[in-house]
Chains A and B, each alone.
Chain A
């Protein structure tokens, strides 16, 4: 246990219903505890099916602090192997992605197949007897996917992925069903944006609808965007935030949209005619119309997957003071005519040189500096408690600028961090 040598951390005091304590962002013991309880025991997003279409295709990722290889097996299944030689611990695979028939350790040449089975050990005469079958690569004991999103847990026991996702599968559906064939494709590669802040700043900010008009003021002064309708008179803003349970948090801009495709920058006519026709053939005109009005989901799937409208993003913790935000455009299979636009939108919205995220990550870094002040250690989280409401499906909903989403994150966090 990571905390065996220190005093117990009292999460019930640090995380209260309307305020949280700054040490949650700055205490390295808490970071270690999160890597164990959230990233090892829980379900964590690893990658997408479309990234590894063929046998032997792999990507390397991290689950918390643990390096892993997500690889397509000869049988078409997906394995999440621990990226560490079973001999002396060397990281096996350095490439971000590729196609492999075997993984060979550079240190002493131990070689594994793509299922993780140990194929060979050079100079076997040095062992009286050697059972290769007990020296295969360690693997995530539980791997499951939903609509191509592959999740893993490094714990053999725990709730199922279906239980973890709960109602939030509806939001993954909302994004995937924009594809006429119901599939998204992550084939453009990832951009990684380094952030000088605790990793939790990213899920918080990704689901915060309060900051837009302030942090992104330059953008609103310069160009028209789909976010225009959430800056202005408080009473006139119709977008909402929603708590989907289990730490999954949504911003729903769509109640403020006044026409189709605002989420795509307001395209119309010939550019989308084939796309709309394909959706209508599958869903009928009414549902198709709703889909192109509402657009894709904006939801943080706890703890590290962000469906950021037309982008997919990953939150990667590095240390208590540092994290990385990955993103790639969400291409829609069967709608090739839109993907070029989605690519350009990804570059405009996310990444270190984009028009949005540099401001978010600069502010996150400023927060990290301020949070070291212990004279004033509490963060306020009470905005919207006066007006949030519970809908018929049990989801708490409120004005888009309310902290309903971040309270949902922290409530789930407290539950996970205090589980027996």
Chain B
């Protein structure tokens, strides 16, 4: 169980992270990460997925998270140029603590207007695990794992921040 204050801080962090991703505020989103951050989107819903043996959609260490963001910030990452219009709903947030870190599990539904070609509305949904840590008094993400309900199906471009 987290204290009410910790729980509230975690929830606010998750909402803020969602908004920065939705609004393509790349530098601010990048600043949410710790230096040892790991960003993982498995290519399967199987809980036994092992990122060291199985192919993932995303398995970024901090260096690669930064590359991902820098690509988007060039203005020439054409699969996100212009950026998809997005709004996500985050719900069912459950918090706990583990090994000194704050852990949150949540569900999300994301409407993405992929305006770069066919201007289609894509619906994304899944479950996210955040692990947060206080760095200099501020909450930062050290791990974000996103398990899409359709992780193993053919997916359209996923070059925005999920």
Contacts and interface: CB of A to CB of B under 8 A. Distances in A.
Interface stretch (A39-47, A212-220, A263-271): A212-220
Contacts of B58: 347, 353
Interface stretch (A189-197, A385-393, A398-406): A189-197
Interface residues of B, number: 37
B74 A362 contact: no
Going nearest first, the 3 A-B pairs with the smallest beta carbon separation are A358-B79, A365-B117, A192-B154
23 contacts: A188-B54, A189-B43, A189-B44, A192-B152, A196-B117, A217-B78, A218-B75, A221-B76, A324-B154, A346-B55, A347-B58, A351-B55, A352-B158, A352-B159, A353-B41, A358-B77, A358-B80, A358-B158, A359-B77, A363-B78, A365-B116, A365-B117, A368-B117
Interface of A: 96, 187-194, 196, 215, 217-219, 221-223, 324, 327-329, 340, 343-344, 346-348, 351-353, 355, 358-359, 361-363, 365-366, 368-369
B157 interface: yes
A414 B75 CA distance: 40
A215 B152 CA distance: 27
Given A188-B54, A221-B74, A340-B52, A96 B117 contact: no
B56 A347 contact: yes
A189 B57 contact: no
What DSSP secondary structure best describes chain B's contact surface? loop
Nearest to B153: A192
Interface in B84-127: 116-118, 120
Contacts of A362: 78-79, 116-117, 157
A223 B153 CA distance: 30
B52 A361 contact: no
B159 A188 contact: no
Contacts, number: 107
B158 A365 contact: no
A26 to B, nearest CB: 14
B118 A365 contact: yes
A193 B154 contact: yes
Nearest to B58: A353
Interface in B7-51: 41, 43-44
Contacts of A358: 77, 79-80, 157-159
Contacts of A348: 64
Given A189-B44, A192-B154, A352 B57 contact: yes
A193 B78 contact: no
Nearest to B152: A96
B55 A329 contact: yes
A361 B117 CA distance: 10
Contact of B76 (A218, A351, A368, A369): A218
B156 A194 contact: yes
B86 to A, nearest CB: 15
Interface stretch (B65-73, B128-136, B137-145): B65-73
Contacts of B149: none
A196 B156 contact: yes
A347 B55 contact: yes
A41 B55 CA distance: 33
A352 B155 contact: yes
Contacts of A363: 78
A333 to B, nearest CB: 15
A343 B78 contact: no
Contacts of A96: 152
